[in-house]
Structure 1
Amino acid sequence: MSQVTPMVQPLLLQFQQLFFLSKVVGVLPQDLTKFRHKNVLEKSRNGMIYMLGMLALYVGLYNLLIYSFSEEDRTLKATQSTLTFVIGLFLTYIGLIMMATDQVTALFNQGKLGELYERIRVVDERLYREQCLVNNSCIAKRIRIMLVMTIIFELFILLTTYIELVDYTQWLSLLWMVSAIPTFINTLDKIWFAVSLFALKERFEAINATLEDLVTEHEKFQTWLTGDADAPEPHTADSSETQPPQYDSNLEYLYKELGGIDIGSLRGSGGKNNKVAPIAHSLNSFGESIQTPRKPHQPNPNPMMNMAHESELSNATKVEEKLNNLCQVHDEICEIGKAMNGLWSYPILSLMAYGFLIFTAQLYFLYCATRAQSIPSLFRSAKNPFITVIVLVYTSGKCIYLIYLSWKTSLASKRTGISLHKCGVVADDNLLYEIVNHLSLKLLNHSVDFSACGFFTLDMETLYGVSGGITSYLIILIQFNLAAQQAKDAIQSFNSFNDTAGLVGAATEFGNESSTLYDLVTTTMMTPSNY
């Protein structure tokens, strides 16, 4: 039996490079052979074993990294405040937790992920039947740009920190390369989510563009019907016969004498520009008929200029099926978006928590470094302000882009209702109004919003709140650090004062003992002996 050729190319065809790289580093457990030949994501036992092995390897190497660089952390609690020590101890494993969340979630959702992209392929076929085309070529380009930017950021942060702040004369310093693994794996996983989310936004915008095209086509059709188009109106008589001379107020007396024409009625009737075009009288002053010379008939060089395609919105019963199909596809895309949000819900929550904590801690450790205070070994990039800026840009860029893309996708899904109502307004038909109102209620009940496990919505308002939270917590941490340093300086001053007072007391006591000895010797020498 011959295999049916798909109507459209699957979206996963654009994920070739991203899938192979994700498969090598252990981000996805799906079968490599099935993806290469069929462009589908299917479960694979060997892939699952390989991914678990890579996860165990990363965890072991990361703990070895922490142990090998822990010499600096052993004296951190004794030399600095307990707050800095606790923050460093907690944030040391936050990157590893984020990476483990991504990989474990991918293991549990490996079957659902393949179904998700299959549903997108079916949606593309339905859009193709409605002559609503989606260009997927930009997705491959977007993936390549994201991969290049990820590699550039990761290598720059890793190499600059290793060269500037790590003692690379020891062979154990090579374990510093492991510090880039959690963020790199997390970025690859979020590229999958970001590109898939962008694909949904493109399909929402394709539906909106199709509805806008219907509106534009109907407006052109109406313009052609009312004669406002650039093309000349269709006519059977010559323009010289159908366009009489324009009315001139200076010849008002002549029009009255010739035909007794009511000038007031002529002034009230006219064309679009309120220009009165009186009816030409057929008699001259001698009562003879006037024979207007005819111009030779010139054929229209472009007969298609007087033709216009009929608008779909002019026939409500004909366009009803198309509007129904587009709204059903819109509903299916919304359901796909909800399913996608469920698959990446925990990874998104871990990324947002990681971004919030790392952004705050990196700025706090930068402050500690400027005050010549010790900081945790894995956050030594905070000792260099330039490297700190790059780290913050890379970390915040991932979070901000996902929030912005989720917000734009949600807006694109809600904009479909506006485009649908434009069709009803421009058509000005009661039956079409009823259809549009019925479909708009369905669209209103099937909007899509993206959230992190329901804790907060991914929109610009959340971004504003997170920015305010980082500023508030940073100020609190700096105040606690100042208070701890002041208490530490006071204790050191008190101990120094006690040591000084002890030395002074000892010197005074020694002076008193010397004075007593001197008096004793003097008295003995001054006393006469009795012989």
Structure 2
Amino acid sequence: MTLKQSTFLASFGQLFFICKIFGLNPQAFGSFGKKIQLIPSGLGKLYVLIITIIVFALYNVLIYAFVDEDKELRAQQSTLTFVIGLFLNYISPVMLVVDQLSAIQNDKKLGEFFNRISKLDYCLAKEGIFINNTIIQNRLFYGLLIIFSFEILIVIATYFMLIDFSQWISVLWFVSMIPSLLSAIDKLWFSNILYGVKQRFEALNEDLESLVAQHTKLKNYKETVEFGSDFNLGYLHKEIFSNKRVSGLTSSDKKSKIKPIEMNDLNLASLNINLKNQSLVSTISGTKVENIVSDLNKLDSKLNTICQLHDELCEIGKSLNELWSLQILALMAYGFLIFTAQLYFFYCSTQNQPIPYLFLSAKNSIITAVFLLYTSWRCVYIIYISWRTSLECKRTGISLHKVGVAADNNDVYEIVNHLSLKLLNHSVDFSACGFFSLDMETLYGVTGGITSYLIILIQFNLAGQQQMEAINKSNWNGTNSDFALTVSTDSSSMISGTGTTGYTNMSTTESTQFF
């Protein structure tokens, strides 16, 4: 494995080249290929802006092309459904714009961030802690495969099942997936960098756990050498040997004073080894760590180094959170709104109500299920990996105290208590611009919020439908009443006019006959 392939940044090579093609990374293309470095580039920033403008313009053309369907929606459906659809039409391109502008702003900081991780990996290697970065490459490959598979599957299934593709303008439907696709690819940077931070926390904790194991092994070895293999059964051993000896004697001998066999009577003198001889312990144990755990100065240096690396790793985690905090907030808002809207429009489709054109996938239950699964994966995975990284960060203090318990030494206890205060005051928690933490508690709250808002929207929808039915019924009754009133008036006029005419004619005839 070459040096370039072993670095953390080099494992993102495949993702970097894909992002450069789609205009997601403003860093220089040549510098990454030759030096494996992220160097700011003016042309890269310009290219990112051009791609963003083109995508946003195409998305507006898509909305304008199908504006007639949304006008029909407003005429047939409640204003609430129309406003929700109009607002959510732009949430996907707005999220992409936030990602692109943040990438341009943080282009220099991202390069410094990876240089900081490289220095940390060098310090870890000096302590004998090596990180396998090939795991990141595999995770990136599967992440890209999932994103492209779901995005293409959803857009093609909707296009051929729910859209009239006989018209050439229907080709614009494929533009609808571009903002979501580009934003999902951009989030692979954050999720996999975060996984790398989690890897390094785990490596530190495993190193501390190895110290605990070596302390326990050395302690057991010392006890075995000092007391023998049956030292924990000394009392039973003494009683058994005493009873055997007494039972083998005659009655006259039993009356005599018999001294039971003690543990010192066993031939264990050959096992009394001077445990203070450090070289002997090292030779028998055959491990380098036991040299460390048996030497207080070396152990103090080892634990101090681990705590310093832990502090640096916490600072790296905080820097990562600052770089992607706004993008993560936009993603969580997108996931919450889109998930709720998709379920609401699916309900509307089951009631044979028109829905916004860009949410036609809600008319099919299978496409809706796939879309919700994909959206959930994008949000839940980031929350989960952030939560796991925070737990690994806090677990270092627990592992450190295990070292003190295993050593069972006052000096080691003082070292551990001193260092644990540093760890307690220096931890990392990931959040979305400080609005909420990325942990499982937040996920539970978001799930409850989606359920609550969905129920509210359905209730408003039912109320709107009942109001529209009442208005239609009132208009129908009013039309029938006007028609009945008109018919009645005309009949009355006709009857009244005929009677008068008859009366007049009759009067005239009678008058003529009279005269």
- TM exceeds 0.5? yes
Q: Which amino acid aligns with 1:436?
A: V
CA contact (8 A) 2:5 2:11 kept: no
The match for 2:357 is 377
Query: Displacement, 1:339?
Result: 0.3
- Once residues 296 and 69 of structure 2 are traced to their aligned partners in structure 1, the CA distance between those partners, rounded to angstroms, is 76
**Residue 326 (structure 1) aligned with residue 306 (structure 2):** yes
| Residues 47 and 414 (structure 1), Cα distance of their counterparts in 2 relative to 1, 3 Å cut | same
Aligned position for 2:236: none
61, 78, 95: which one aligns with 1:64 = 61
Secondary structure of 1:374's aligned partner: coil
C-alpha distance 189-258 of structure 1, shift in aligned 2 (>3 A): same
Paired residue secondary structure (2:285): coil
The correspondence of residues 122-521 of structure 1 with structure 2, limited to 5 A, is 122-227=119-224, 247-248=243-244, 251=247, 253-254=249-250, 257=253, 262-263=258-259, 265-266=260-261, 269-270=262-263, 307-309=284-286, 310-520=290-500
Shift of 1:138: 1.0
Q: In the alignment, which residue of structure 1 is the partner of 2:29? A: 32
Residue 86 of structure 2 corresponds to 89
Measured on the aligned residues, the alpha-carbon RMSD in Å equals 2.7
Distance 1:97 1:52 in 2: 14
Q: For residues 174 and 155 of structure 1, what CA distance do their matches in structure 2 show?
A: 14
Paired residue type of 1:253: L
Measure the CA separation in 2 of the matches of 1:471 and 1:356: 11
Conservation of the 8 A alpha-carbon contact between 1:338 and 1:450: yes
Q: 1:6 to 1:384 in 2, by over 3 A?
A: closer
Whole-angstrom distance in 2 between the partners of 1:254 and 1:404: 77
Letter in 2 for 1:221: L
2:104 pairs, out of 96, 102, 107, with 107
Kindly tell me: are residues 311 and 74 of structure 1, through their superposed partners in 2, closer, same or farther at Cα, counting changes over 3 Å?
Answer: same
- Measured after TM superposition, the shift of residue 227 of structure 1 is 2.2
Partners in 1 of 2:344 and 2:172 — Cα distance?
Answer: 25
Residue pair 2:325, 2:432 contacting (<8 A) in 1 also: yes
Question: What code does the residue aligned with 1:223 have?
Answer: N
Q: Distance in 1 between matches of 2:5 and 2:48?
A: 32
For residues 471 and 88 of structure 1, what CA distance do their matches in structure 2 show? 19
How many angstroms does 1:393 deviate by?
Answer: 1.0
Offset at residue 253 of structure 1 (A):
3.4
Unmatched tracts of structure 1, length 5 or more: 234-243, 272-276, 280-303
CA offset at residue 78 of structure 1? Answer: 2.1
User: Displacement of 1:502 after TM fit?
Assistant: 1.0
Shift of 1:438: 1.0
Change (3 A) 1:180 1:8: closer
For residues 191-237 of structure 1, give each alpha carbon's deviation from its aligned partner in whole angstroms, at most 9, with x where no partner exists. Answer: 100000000000000000001011111211222222299x989xxxx
1:516 to partner: Cα distance: 2.9
Which amino acid in structure 2 is aligned with residue 348 of structure 1? Answer: I
Question: Could you tell me how far 1:356 is from its partner in structure 2?
Answer: 0.7
Question: What is the CA–CA distance in structure 1 between the aligned matches of 2:421 and 2:23, rounded to whole Å?
Answer: 44
Cα-to-partner distance string for 1:385-436 (whole Å, 9 max, x where unaligned): 1111111111111111100100000000000000011111101111111111
Contact 2:4–2:10 (8 Å) recurs in 1: no
Counterpart of 2:393, as a letter, is: S
Q: Please give the alpha-carbon distance, in whole angstroms, between the structure 2 residues aligned to 1:332 and 1:50.
A: 34
Does the CA-based 8 Å contact 1:80-1:374 persist in structure 2?
yes
Q: Which residue pairs with 2:270 in the alignment?
A: none
Q: Which residue of structure 1 lines up, in the alignment, with residue 274 of structure 2?
A: none
Deviation, structure 1 residue 17: 1.2
Given the superposition, is the C-alpha separation of residues 324 and 178 from structure 1 closer, same or farther in structure 2, using an over 3 Å criterion? Answer: same
Structure 1 contact 198–405 (Cα < 8 Å) conserved: yes
Q: C-alpha distance in 2, partners of 1:255/1:124?
A: 78
Letter in 2 for 1:502: D
Distance 2:16 2:5 in 1: 20
For 2:41, the aligned partner's letter is: S
Q: Would you say the 8 A contact 1:73–1:377 is kept in 2?
A: yes
Could you tell me how far apart the structure 2 residues matched to 1:51 and 1:463 are?
33
Distance 1:278 1:376 in 2: 91
Contact 2:154/2:371, CA 8 A, preserved across alignment: yes
The one-letter amino acid of 2:249's match is: Y
DSSP 3-state at the match of 1:262: coil
Residue 292 of structure 1: aligned partner: none
Q: Aligned equivalents of 1:225 and 1:368: distance in 2?
A: 74
Q: CA deviation at 1:307?
A: 2.4
Q: Is the 8 A contact 2:246 2:254 kept in 1?
A: no
CA contact (8 A) 1:161 1:387 kept: yes
1:50-61 to structure 2, matched below 5 A, reads 50-61=47-58
Q: Distance in 2 between matches of 1:153 and 1:411?
A: 31
TM-score, normalised on structure 1?
A: 0.86
Whichever residue aligns with residue 293 of structure 2, its letter is L
Question: Cα offset for 1:257?
Answer: 2.9
Cα deviation, residue 133, structure 1? 1.5
Indicate how the Cα distance of structure 1 residues 254 and 34 shifts in structure 2: closer, same or farther if over 3 A, else same: farther
Mapped partners of 2:14, 2:331: distance in 1: 23
- Greater helix fraction, Structure 1 or Structure 2: 2
Unaligned runs of 5+ in 2: 231-239, 268-280
Residue deviations 1:258-303, cap 9 Å, x none? 995535x54xx459xxxxx789xxxxxxxxxxxxxxxxxxxxxxxx
Give the match for residue 271 of structure 2.
none
- Which amino acid is 2:455 matched to? I
Instruction: Report the Cα offset of residue 64 of structure 1.
Output: 0.5
Runs of 4+ in structure 1 displaced over 4 angstroms? 5-8, 244-247, 258-261, 520-523, 525-529
